[in-house]
């Protein structure tokens, strides 16, 4: 399977940084905040490759930097350093000067202007956040939320947008009778399903999932996870799955990266991470799992 | 170098076995030690210096006392465990000789998808998927059959393994241990892997089921598959394996 996304040494630092930062922060130091200068290294020197049709898990406790990583990849936040490349794919051919002539990989998307970043992102990625209010406008109808995304992708026909929105909402099991209601009227599980519909509206090759089932009741969580598994197979999606829950990672992901204090401490096949964890932190994580 | 001088057959080359058959697996000096960080970094050696070959089409049993590390060896081959040292050379059908101990993860996943299967002692599968769908899934995805054909093939296997038809749509989590294990085996043999690793697959089965499973393994072998397995029953091992490799013995 070919790679779709390559991330090289992506880093997000809040604060000015100082010469002692590298020693004072990270998994070995047990903190992401530098005592000397107060800078926080939310995400430090993370590299990864996401392949076509694979689900890569990112697991770690709160503050490990896993959500920051997703935000950086979705340009919700700007990286301090590092670079990101997207593979050549038909959906991205319309983005001006994304690829150098004859190259299979794009130029660094992190250093592009906002306009082209957004264009490249909307043509290749969808995102689902833990908190529905980050991904949805809670006062706008469910159908309108999906249409908004289509509008920014250049759709103009109201009838076509409505048809596409109902198709996506149907796929994510939102009754069409409720399409015109705002998500604030919906349960948590339904809100997540509207977010998924919205994320899929641009036919993304890559889906970013940030703690999408955290905080949902178990039965609701199961339904959302089953839906994600089905969609992944049917739409041949690549997914980056961020979760603190090893059960979710085990269900969805073939490969897993473990983060702590902003750094990747271990990565491997998911069954190997669970059955033969190498790093002390991963061993603690696996041993702490219920059941 | 004089081309007339014949080289000695290289023992670490899995592609040329003395008998002329391909060496499917060539395990060289495999060691595995677990380091337990939560217990102050104590090291537990599981196996050390294991070496053996498996020829293409062979059925090799791993024997040895409980705790000797038989399961560890199988899991190292499957890469569920990371070998601490040594080589696990595998003659893949597309890429030639590969060291499973060091192969990049995406390549291991590709081998698991196309060539190498594993049957554990217990069914560990996706929750909320019915028995027939569980067995049909690898047939659909790996052999490329369409959904009705895959479902029919899955039903045929489950029938042979005497899973009642009324359970086909039920979730195996609710099944008895023996039923679960029969689903597990059906799922593992359904896609006809080229190398199948068996970790006590028959431990929870009744005698009649064991006979069916033995038949299924024999059918896989007639299709050219290679099998490496652990069996708790020495008589069964004696009967179905071509030969036995002892794990845990010095040398």
Pairing of strands A255-260, A55-59: parallel
At residue B21, the pLDDT reads 82
At residue A267, the pLDDT reads 97
CATH architecture of B59-80+105-246: 3-Layer(aba) Sandwich (3.40)
Q: In angstroms, what separates the C-alpha of B39 from chain A's closest C-alpha?
A: 10
Nearest residue, CB atoms, B80 vs list A229, A267, A276: A276
Burial of A149 (0-12, 13-18, 19+ CB in 10 A): buried
At residue B13, the pLDDT reads 46
Compare all CA atoms of chain B with the CA of A219 and give the residue at the minimum distance: B128
Closest CA to A243 of A287, A215, A209, A192: A209
Whether A229 and B36 lie within 8 Å, measured CB to CB? no
Whether A222 and B128 lie within 8 Å, measured CB to CB? yes
Question: Within chain B, what is the greatest distance between any pair of CA atoms?
Answer: 70
Q: In angstroms, what separates the C-alpha of B105 from chain A's closest C-alpha?
A: 6
Confidence of residue B80 (pLDDT cuts 50, 70, 90): very high
Q: In angstroms, what separates the C-alpha of A2 from chain B's closest C-alpha?
A: 10
Render pLDDT for A29-78 as a digit per residue (tens, 0 to 9). 999 999 999 999 999 999 999 999 999 999 998 889 999 999 999 999 99
Burial of B71 (0-12, 13-18, 19+ CB in 10 A): buried
Q: Are the CB atoms for A181 and A145 separated by under 8 Å?
A: no
At residue B1, the pLDDT reads 39
Closest CA to B182 of B122, B238, B112, B138: B122
Cα–Cα distance for residue pair A99/A93, rounded to 1 Å: 8
Compare all CA atoms of chain B with the CA of A55 and give the residue at the minimum distance: B106
Name which of A26-40, B5-19, B193-207 the model is least confident about. B5-19
Cα–Cα distance for residue pair B2/A84, rounded to 1 Å: 52
Q: Is the alpha carbon torsion for B159, B161, B164, B166 positive or negative? A: negative
Confidence of residue B126 (pLDDT cuts 50, 70, 90): confident
Cα–Cα distance for residue pair A51/A3, rounded to 1 Å: 4
Render pLDDT for B208-251 as a digit per residue (tens, 0 to 9). 999 999 999 999 999 999 999 999 899 999 999 999 999 986 54
Q: pLDDT: is B16 or A246 the higher one?
A: A246
Whether B106 and A54 lie within 8 Å, measured CB to CB? yes
- A202-232: string of b/e by CB count within 10 Å (b at 16+)? bebbbbbbbbbbeebeeebbbbbbebbbebb
Name every residue whose Cβ is closer than 8 Å to that of residue A291 and which is 6 or more positions away in sequence: none
Q: Where would I find the H helices in B22-169?
A: 70-78, 105-114, 131-143, 147-160
Residues of B in contact with A222 (CB under 8 A): 127-128
Closest CA to B216 of B238, B249, B192: B192
Q: In angstroms, what separates the C-alpha of A63 from chain B's closest C-alpha?
A: 22
What ipTM did this prediction achieve? 0.89
Cα–Cα distance for residue pair B80/B46, rounded to 1 Å: 14
Confidence of residue B18 (pLDDT cuts 50, 70, 90): low
Supply the DSSP string of A179-221, one letter for each residue. TTS-GGGS-HHHHHHHHHHHHHTT--SEEEEESTTTTS-HHHH
Please give the order of strands across the beta sheet that includes B226-230.
B116-119, B195-199, B226-230, B59-63, B243-246
| Interval B21-48 mean pLDDT | 94
Its pTM stands at: 0.91
Q: Are the CB atoms for B186 and B158 separated by under 8 Å?
A: yes
Could you say which residues of chain A have pLDDT below 70? Answer: 1, 290-291
Cα–Cα distance for residue pair A281/B89, rounded to 1 Å: 31
Cα–Cα distance for residue pair B180/B171, rounded to 1 Å: 10
Closest CA to A135 of A26, A208, A81, A82: A208
Percent of chain B with pLDDT over 70: 91
Compare all CA atoms of chain B with the CA of A229 and give the residue at the minimum distance: B126
The yes/no answer on whether domain A3-287 falls in CATH 3.20.20.70 is no
Cα–Cα distance for residue pair B72/B161, rounded to 1 Å: 28
Render pLDDT for A203-220 as a digit per residue (tens, 0 to 9). 999 999 999 998 888 888
Name every residue whose Cβ is closer than 8 Å to that of residue B5 and which is 6 or more positions away in sequence: none
Nearest residue, CB atoms, B80 vs list A51, A226, A271: A271
Domain ranges of chain A: 3-287
Confidence of residue B3 (pLDDT cuts 50, 70, 90): very low
At residue B19, the pLDDT reads 59
- 3-class secondary-structure state, position A41: strand
At residue B124, the pLDDT reads 76
Confidence of residue B10 (pLDDT cuts 50, 70, 90): very low
Q: pLDDT: is A94 or B52 the higher one?
A: B52
Whether B109 and A255 lie within 8 Å, measured CB to CB? yes
At residue B249, the pLDDT reads 65
Nearest residue, CB atoms, B37 vs list A254, A255, A280: A280
- 3-class secondary-structure state, position A244: coil
Whether B75 and A276 lie within 8 Å, measured CB to CB? yes
Residues of A in contact with B34 (CB under 8 A): 276
Residues of B in contact with A269 (CB under 8 A): 79-80, 105, 108-109
At residue B16, the pLDDT reads 47
Cα–Cα distance for residue pair B22/B55, rounded to 1 Å: 6
* Arithmetic mean of pLDDT over chain A: 94
Whether B34 and A287 lie within 8 Å, measured CB to CB? no
């Amino acid at each position: 399977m070919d790679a779709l996304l390559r991330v090289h040494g992506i880093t997000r630092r809040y604060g000015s940084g100082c010469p002692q930062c590298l020693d004072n922060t990270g998994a070995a130091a047990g903190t992401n905040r530098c005592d000397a200068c107060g800078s926080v290294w939310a995400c430090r020197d993370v590299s990864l490759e996401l392949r076509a049709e694979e689900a890569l898990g990112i697991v770690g406790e709160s503050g490990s930097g896993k959500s920051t990583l997703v935000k950086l990849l979705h340009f919700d936040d700007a990286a301090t350093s590092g670079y990101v490349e997207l593979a050549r794919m038909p959906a991205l051919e319309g983005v001006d000067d994304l690829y150098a002539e004859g190259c299979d990989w794009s130029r660094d998307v992190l250093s592009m202007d906002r306009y082209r970043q957004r264009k490249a992102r909307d043509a290749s990625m969808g995102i689902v956040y833990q908190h529905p209010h980050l991904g949805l406008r809670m006062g706008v109808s469910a159908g309108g939320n999906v249409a908004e995304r289509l509008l920014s992708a250049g759709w103009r026909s109201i009838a076509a947008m409505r048809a596409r929105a109902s198709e996506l909402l149907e796929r994510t099991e939102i009754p069409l009778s409720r399409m015109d209601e705002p998500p604030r009227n919906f349960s948590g599980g339904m809100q997540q399903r509207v977010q998924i519909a919205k994320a899929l509206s641009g036919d993304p090759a890559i889906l970013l999932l940030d703690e999408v089932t955290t905080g949902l009741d178990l039965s609701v969580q199961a339904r959302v996870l089953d839906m994600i598994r089905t969609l992944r197979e049917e739409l041949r999606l690549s997914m980056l799955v961020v979760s603190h829950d090893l059960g979710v990672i085990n269900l969805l992901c073939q490969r897993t990266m473990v983060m702590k204090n902003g750094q990747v401490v271990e990565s491997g096949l998911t069954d190997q991470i669970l059955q033969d964890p190498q790093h002390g932190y991963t061993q603690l994580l696996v041993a702490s799992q219920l059941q | 170098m004089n081309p007339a001088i014949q080289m000695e057959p290289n023992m670490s080359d899995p592609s040329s076995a003395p008998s002329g058959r391909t060496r499917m697996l060539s395990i060289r000096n495999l060691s595995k030690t677990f380091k337990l960080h939560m217990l102050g970094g104590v090291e537990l050696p599981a196996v050390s210096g294991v070496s053996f070959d498996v020829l293409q089409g062979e059925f090799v049993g791993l024997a040895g006392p409980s705790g000797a590390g038989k399961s560890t060896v199988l899991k190292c081959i499957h890469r569920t465990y990371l070998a601490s040292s040594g080589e696990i050379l595998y003659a893949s059908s597309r890429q030639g000789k590969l060291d499973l101990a060091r192969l990049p993860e995406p390549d291991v996943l590709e081998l698991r998808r196309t060539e190498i299967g594993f049957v554990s002692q217990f069914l560990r599968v996706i929750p909320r998927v019915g028995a027939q769908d569980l067995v049909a899934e690898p047939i659909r995805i790996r052999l490329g059959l369409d959904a009705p054909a895959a479902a029919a093939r899955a039903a045929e296997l489950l029938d042979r393994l005497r899973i009642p038809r009324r359970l086909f749509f039920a979730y195996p989590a609710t099944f008895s241990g023996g039923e679960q294990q029969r689903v597990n085996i059906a799922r593992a043999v359904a896609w006809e892997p080229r190398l199948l690793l068996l970790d006590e697959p028959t431990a929870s089965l009744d005698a009649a089921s064991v006979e069916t499973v033995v038949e299924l393994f024999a059918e896989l072998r007639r299709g050219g598959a290679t099998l490496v397995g652990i069996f708790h029953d020495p008589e069964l091992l004696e009967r179905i394996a071509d030969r036995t490799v002892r794990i845990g013995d010095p040398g």
